[in-house]
Chain A
Amino acid sequence: MDLATLIFWIIAVILVGSALMVVGLRNIVHSAVALILLFAMAAGIYVLLDAEFIAIVQILIYAGAVTILILFALMLTRITGQQSRTNPTNKQWWIALVICTLLGVSIIYAATTSPHAVATVGSDSGQLPAGINNVVRIGQLLYSPTQYSFVLPFEIASLVLLVAIIGAIVIGRED
């Protein structure tokens, strides 16, 4: 067992634990904070996979922005009187457990037997040329006007987001 594996197991245990805390905790604000921990640990997994850009963006967007919006909404709509039990749960948790187990088993089965299985050993053909790091490659893939890139889907996605923002403003406007 080398150092990376050790760190992976530490991160993985915390990740699964915090995921269970998100669904299990009684207080909804505690769940949201556990969600932040979960996102941070997922970023740790990305770092171990040498995808540091994705990891940092994960922290920036999920831990720093999305969960803040969740917390913000929770605090503005705080249910008074029953602070200790604000995470709504019902009697169907065992159905969720069955579904989750099935999903997990099928993912593990697929990952271990699929012909498209993830390579466990890095191949040299995937290496980037000198002077081109992950960030540069992502930028080229997303925006490059001269090489093969995903400029058009990217621009369409940003247009859709713009429409969503304008729609939210129109709906939320008080006049």
Chain B
Amino acid sequence: MLLADDAVTQLIHGIISWQFLQFVVTFLVIFVFVLTGAVILVLAERKIMAWMQDRLGPIYTGPWGLLQTVADMIKLLLKEDIRVADSDKLLFLLSPSVFIAPVIAAFAVLPFSPYISLPGTGLATGIVYYVAMSSIDVVAVVMAGYSSNNKYSLIGGLRAAAQMISYELPLVLALVGVVMLTSVLAGAPGYPGHDSIGTISLRQIIDFQGVWHKTGNPVLDFIFEGNTPWEWFILIQPLMLVIYYICGLAETNRAPFDLPEAESELVAGYVTEYSGVRWAMFYLGEYGNMTIVSAIATILFLGGWSGPGVAYLTGLNVPVWGLVGNLLALVYFIVKVYLLCAVFIWVRATLPRLRSDQLMRFAWLILIPITLGNILLTGALFLLISGLGLPTWVFLTVTGVINWAALFGFIWVVGRATVATTRRAQAPAIRARLRASTTPALPLRDGIPARVPELP
């Protein structure tokens, strides 16, 4: 009893406090967001893809088909839980939980608004934490593929592991560009931090994109305090946002990187043998991952929760206006996140699946050299410009201009590479057809069709 006493008093002191209230509010918001996010995104995906393909999408369940995914969820929860014979029972049952746990854990460092953020958002290692959590997903995929006792699952699991490991490198390297920018900006007037000490904390990176010197004019202050779109890192590093987004697509196994669950080859990849609740958990995890990738992109490149009125209202220190400001921040953040999720869906409806030879080439020969080059270029430009004694905004402008130019160069390179690899992959078949057409056709006999010339 004496042993437990101390722990209990600590717990009670922790529970009766304003921090705990903040924790409960945030936890409920994030929990509801995660659980409903998948339902909303599935409906959005079906509707948006239907419009893009000139269909109607689900329209019968509920008004305008709004309740379709709710019905789907109920169906999934009530479905029989099938366990495959001769499967590896333990791993088979564990892997959905292992898949979804890091997804939920990653939400711990995502700040939703100035008040609605878990204590984890203060973590000094936010970006590294997010990357570590997304790397655990691979374990679950491999476990699911192995334990299903099914060759399609195994192939899907192996493909997913290879793909997720390869694309993790350019994903991290793309984020390094932003961290370098924060270390350049830190210590400048208005910016947080000490001289030349950057940050990898998500909360602080938002602060770096919303520096506004008060003018005293309430209208201007209301709109622009903490909301300065010309400071968002997308303007300085647009190419890194695009590369991060591409790697996010690959990490979440979404089209066009859905080789691990390619329907036409592997049935459903590593989820082939799952049904009911466990399958729903994989689905929830996939859409949760999508949300997290979009949220990280929002925080690092699009200013996070910033929008007109947020910092002004929360800075008034009046509870009511603080509440309004936080709700506004929440709305801005979620709108930005869902707009980026819509891009996921748009890409899925637009692009065909990559071939496996293109997949690895793209990561190792295009993405990694470009991201490494960006790090080198950013550092070299900073050395050059600060060596010449020019101010920071010159560096930012030059980096931004070069990066925008590189973005169009990247699109051109990707187009050329796609054409070239497709030609190379098709070359043997085209050659064979040419050879076949040059071999003389066999003469016709009465009533019997000619034999098709054999391909050499």
Shortest B14–chain A CB gap in Å is: 8
Interface size class of B (residues with CB under 8 A): 35 or more
- Choose from B125, B129, B165, B194 the contact partner of A131 (Cβ within 8 Å): B194
Shortest B136–chain A CB gap in Å is: 6
B90 within 8 A of A: yes
Query: Are A1 and B132 CB-contacts (below 8 A) given A33-B143, A75-B158, A76-B158?
Result: no
Contact A133 B124 (CB under 8 A): yes
Q: What are 14 of the A-B contact pairs (CB < 8 Å)?
A: A3-B7, A3-B10, A29-B91, A33-B91, A36-B139, A52-B124, A60-B128, A64-B139, A65-B135, A68-B139, A75-B157, A75-B158, A132-B197, A135-B124
A contact residues around B94 at 8 Å (CB):
33
* Shortest beta-carbon contacts, A-B, top 5: A64-B135, A60-B132, A1-B3, A59-B132, A133-B124
Interface residues as binary, B152-164 with A (CB distance below 8 Å gives 1, 0 otherwise): 0010011001100
A136 within 8 A of B: yes
B382 within 8 A of A: no
Whole-angstrom distance between the alpha carbons of A27 and B89 in the complex? 12
B contact residues around A63 at 8 Å (CB):
135-136, 139
- Choose from B90, B131, B143 the contact partner of A60 (Cβ within 8 Å): B131
Contact B165 A2 (CB under 8 A): no
Shortest A19–chain B CB gap in Å is: 18
- Choose from B88, B142, B197 the contact partner of A68 (Cβ within 8 Å): B142
Whole-angstrom distance between the alpha carbons of A13 and B1 in the complex? 21
Contact A65 B165 (CB under 8 A): yes
Query: Are A53 and B125 CB-contacts (below 8 A) given A1-B4, A2-B7?
Result: yes
Task: Give me the interface of A with B, judged by CB distance under 8 Å.
Answer: 1-3, 6, 27, 29-30, 33, 36, 52-53, 56-57, 59-60, 63-65, 67-68, 71-72, 75-76, 131-136
B76 within 8 A of A: no
B138 within 8 A of A: yes
Contact A29 B128 (CB under 8 A): no
Which residues of B (156-185) have their CB < 8 Å from a CB of A? Answer: 157-158, 161-162, 165
A contact residues around B157 at 8 Å (CB):
75
Whole-angstrom distance between the alpha carbons of A29 and B143 in the complex? 9
Whole-angstrom distance between the alpha carbons of A75 and B128 in the complex? 29
- Choose from B91, B128, B193 the contact partner of A53 (Cβ within 8 Å): B128
Contact B131 A68 (CB under 8 A): no
- Choose from A27, A56, A72, A135 the contact partner of B142 (Cβ within 8 Å): A72
Whole-angstrom distance between the alpha carbons of A146 and B91 in the complex? 51
B contact residues around A27 at 8 Å (CB):
88
Contact A30 B158 (CB under 8 A): no
- Choose from A29, A60, A64, A134 the contact partner of B146 (Cβ within 8 Å): A29
Contact A64 B132 (CB under 8 A): yes
Whole-angstrom distance between the alpha carbons of A68 and B165 in the complex? 9
Shortest A60–chain B CB gap in Å is: 4
Whole-angstrom distance between the alpha carbons of A59 and B137 in the complex? 12
Contact A52 B123 (CB under 8 A): yes
Shortest B134–chain A CB gap in Å is: 8
Contact B161 A2 (CB under 8 A): no
Shortest A155–chain B CB gap in Å is: 15
B contact residues around A67 at 8 Å (CB):
139
Contact B125 A75 (CB under 8 A): no
Contact B7 A6 (CB under 8 A): yes
B6 within 8 A of A: yes
Whole-angstrom distance between the alpha carbons of A33 and B94 in the complex? 11
A contact residues around B133 at 8 Å (CB):
59
Q: Interface centre among B7, B10, B94, B145, by most A CB within 10 Å?
A: B7
Interface residues as binary, B111-147 with A (CB distance below 8 Å gives 1, 0 otherwise): 0000000000001110011011101101100110110
Contact A68 B138 (CB under 8 A): yes
- Choose from B11, B128, B132, B146 the contact partner of A71 (Cβ within 8 Å): B146
A contact residues around B129 at 8 Å (CB):
56
B contact residues around A52 at 8 Å (CB):
123-125
Contact A75 B142 (CB under 8 A): yes
Contact A134 B193 (CB under 8 A): no
Contact A64 B123 (CB under 8 A): no
Shortest A141–chain B CB gap in Å is: 13
Whole-angstrom distance between the alpha carbons of A133 and B145 in the complex? 41
Shortest A164–chain B CB gap in Å is: 16
- Choose from B10, B138, B193, B197 the contact partner of A64 (Cβ within 8 Å): B138
B200 within 8 A of A: yes
Which residues of B (293-345) have their CB < 8 Å from a CB of A? Answer: none
